[in-house]
Amino acid sequence: MPAIVLIGAQWGDEGKGKATDLLGDQVDYVVRFQGGNNAGHTVVVGDKNFALHLLPSGILTPGVTPVIGNGVVVDLEVLMEELDGLAAQGVDISKLKISSNAHVITPYHVTVDKVGERFLGKKAIGTTGRGIGPTYIDKIGRLGIRIQDLFDPSILTQKVEGALVQKNDLLVKVYNRAAVRVEEVVEHLLSFGERLKPMVTDTSLILNQALDEGKTVLLEGGQGTLLDIDHGTYPFVTSSNASAGGATVGSGIGPTRITGVIGILKAYTTRVGSGPFPTELFDEWGEFLRSNGGEFGVTTGRERRCGWFDAPIAKYATRINGLTDFFLTKLDVLTGLDQIPVCVAYEIDGQRVEELPANQSDFHHAKPIYENFPGWHEDITGCTTFEELPKNAQDYVLALERMSGTRISAIGVGQDRNATIVRYPLTGA
């Protein structure tokens, strides 16, 4: 009766969508537990390419019940568009369940996100502009609108009125924007009610009952450990708990029911938006990783910043998430390099530091200390076992495993679901 958590070990875009899809056949439920449509999870199945933002990647596997948990923030327009898009591609969307406690992203949250970033100027976080931060601010400030409010127009109106008092002050007096009218927001939100109603339920109850019956639940994270609001590179983070701890709070499944925590780990490092990134490359090697790895955002189309593998980050992900397995992705992207540098520690103010520094300013001026590993030139995309990989590729994986502190149970050698080497069963059992 396991619940398994799958999260990003770095700054997002590690390949969580592909890993979730791969596990789809072994699980009964796939749950998103935090974040919203700031995520962009690409799943390639044969000649079909899916980009999921809000829906769990498990929706693509027949038989799986996809769930949007209470910890997610939901943009209803995006939800409907995504559902329609998938239905048009022949995906069964009828089983989707949405928590009545999930919070709603309204158009004013999107406006505040975008205008707020513009006002920050050079200090901007580089958000996805999807209203994520402002919606979580309202949730914590107890001014949020929840999915369940959409089915009671009178309560909805009261809540929107309450939220807009502050929001309109901010929009008009600080941001020099037009005020938002209560009726226009209420009307917009109510327009989704009828279609939404059959999907809305007590998802915590359903998931716990499923676990009682011996079913398997996969909790699919958005973003990554270093974008976590508590454990990431604050303030250059997202506004939710993207690390494993968020999975229990964001789904209503207790921590004792979780038997495995899989960290998705890219064989190099990328990040989108602002913030410190010690191994970032500004030369032709950064360009090599970006073009070979197709490192362009699925949500915003932005170029991803690219750099070498950072072992202290992987070790930190092991610690923060209590990982049982790593799924190492995109090893194939490194093919063709003579030498592969790996950051094994940092130099901070003349000192060698092995752990991620607890002080953010230290991390900003951490210089990577590199060790070089010999590369390989053979095409590895067709390898199906660890032993088939060139010796240098095997050694690279084993070195990463040793430095990261968690066994590498699966290795991605290409975009397709099948381009995966499984070394140990990934169910965390």
Residues of the shown chain interacting with ligand IMO in the complex, contacts defined by CB under 6 A: 8, 11-13, 38-41, 125-128, 130, 132-133, 222-224, 227, 238-239, 272-273
Among 38, 99, 128, 415, binds ligand GDP (CB under 6 A): 415
Is 40 a residue that touches Mg ion (CB under 5 A)? Answer: yes
Cα(136)–Cα(139) distance, integer angstroms: 5
Cα(223)–Cα(130) distance, integer angstroms: 14
Question: With CB cut-offs between 5 and 8 Å by kind, which of ligand GDP, ligand IMO, Mg ion, none does residue 223 bind?
Answer: ligand IMO
Cα(15)–Cα(309) distance, integer angstroms: 15
Give least dist CB 297 to ligand IMO, A: 7
CA distances from 340 to 132, 159, 200, 201, 312 (A): 36, 55, 49, 49, 16
Q: Output 41 or 146, the one with its CB closest to ligand GDP.
A: 41
13 is catalytic: yes
Site string for ligand GDP, 325-364 (x = CB under 6 A): ----xx-xx-------------------------------
CA distances from 360 to 11, 225, 276, 366 (A): 16, 15, 9, 10
Number of C-beta neighbours around residue 295 at 10 A: 23
H or E segment to which residue 20 belongs: helix 16-23
Give least dist CB 35 to ligand IMO, A: 6
List 25, 28, 41, 92, catalytic entry: 41
Residues belonging to the chain? 429
Give least dist CB 414 to ligand GDP, A: 5
| Residue with the shortest CB distance to ligand IMO | 273
List 13, 138, 228, 310, catalytic entry: 13
Question: With CB cut-offs between 5 and 8 Å by kind, which of ligand GDP, ligand IMO, Mg ion, none does residue 98 bind?
Answer: none
Question: With CB cut-offs between 5 and 8 Å by kind, which of ligand IMO, Mg ion, ligand GDP, none does residue 18 bind?
Answer: ligand GDP
Cα(29)–Cα(21) distance, integer angstroms: 12
Backbone phi and psi for residue 205, each to the nearest 5 degrees, phi listed first: -65, -50
113 is catalytic: no
Question: With CB cut-offs between 5 and 8 Å by kind, which of ligand GDP, ligand IMO, Mg ion, none does residue 333 bind?
Answer: ligand GDP
The answer to whether residues 104 and 73 touch, using CB atoms and an 8 Å cutoff, is: yes
DSSP conformation letters of 179-233: PPPHHHHHHHHHTTHHHHGGGEE-HHHHHHHHHHTT--EEEE--S-GGG-TTTSS
Among 7, 11, 13, 54, binds Mg ion (CB under 5 A): 13
The answer to whether residues 16 and 24 touch, using CB atoms and an 8 Å cutoff, is: no
Q: Output 71 or 252, the one with its CB closest to ligand GDP.
A: 71
3-class SS string, 256-324: HHEEEEEEEEECCEEECCCCCCCCECCCHHHHHHHHHHCCECCCCCCECEEECEEHHHHHHHHHHHCCC
Question: With CB cut-offs between 5 and 8 Å by kind, which of ligand GDP, ligand IMO, Mg ion, none does residue 132 bind?
Answer: ligand IMO
The CA-to-CA distance between both ends of the chain, in Å, stands at: 10
Q: Output 69 or 293, the one with its CB closest to ligand GDP.
A: 293
Give least dist CB 248 to ligand GDP, A: 21
Q: Is the peptide bond before 357 cis (omega within 30 degrees of 0)?
A: no
Number of C-beta neighbours around residue 114 at 10 A: 16
Site string for ligand GDP, 15-44 (x = CB under 6 A): xxxx--------------------xxxx-x
Question: With CB cut-offs between 5 and 8 Å by kind, which of ligand GDP, ligand IMO, Mg ion, none does residue 227 bind?
Answer: ligand IMO
Q: Which residues are catalytic?
A: 13, 41
Provide the binding-site residues for ligand GDP, judged by CB under 6 A. Answer: 8, 12-18, 39-42, 44, 294, 298, 329-330, 332-333, 412-415
Q: Which residues bind Mg ion (CB under 5 A)?
A: 13, 40, 298
